[in-house]
Amino acid sequence: MADVSILRTSADAKVTGLTPLAPAAKVQRSVNFYELLGMKLRGRLKTSSGDLPWAHVASEQAEWMFVRAAEPVVPRQPAGLFYLYPPNLGALRESLISAGVRVSPITYPDSMPKGEVRVEDPDGYTLRIGQAG
């Protein structure tokens, strides 16, 4: 990876939002809990059977997303992803690649139809970066 202390970015190659994404054993149970804290359901994916595999709750500047855990959630073990939103995903991706950062191809999952990529930060945290707007 390139020395990040000397990198410069263009006006479009920046992140402007960050929403935690955490695995949950039962997404609806998590939504119900965060509604107790004053958060409201902002978005969700619901299966034909009524299951909720993904949800987004928010209140003013507080936001949180939940996704059904692929493995059992172990209490007291950090298990989450960071989701970031740039104004121009393509420009940010190209900027990262030219800086020597390994970035996945752009994919278009149901939860991010305008596109997203995956990146690992220097500490090994996985970042998902999705096109804003």
Six-digit token pair at 44? 């969700």
- Burial of 117 (C-beta count, 10 Å sphere; 0-12/13-18/19+): buried
Residue 77 is predicted with a pLDDT of: 59
At residue 89, the pLDDT reads: 94
pTM of this prediction exceeds 0.85: no
The runs of H, that is alpha helices, within 6-128 are 27-36, 89-98
pLDDT score, position 22: 84
Quick one: pLDDT at residue 78? 55
Q: What are 22's two structure tokens?
A: 């955490």
pLDDT at residue number 127: 85
Domain 1-16+86-133 has CATH 3.10.180.10: yes
CA 4 to chain centre: 22
Q: What is the mean pLDDT of each run of 10 residues along the chain (133 residues)?
A: 64 86 89 88 94 93 89 67 87 90 95 92 80 83
Cα separation, 100 vs 94, whole angstroms = 10
Domain boundaries, the chain: 1-16+86-133, 18-79
CATH class of 18-79: alpha beta
Q: Which residues does 98 contact at the CB level (< 8 Å), separation at least 6?
A: none
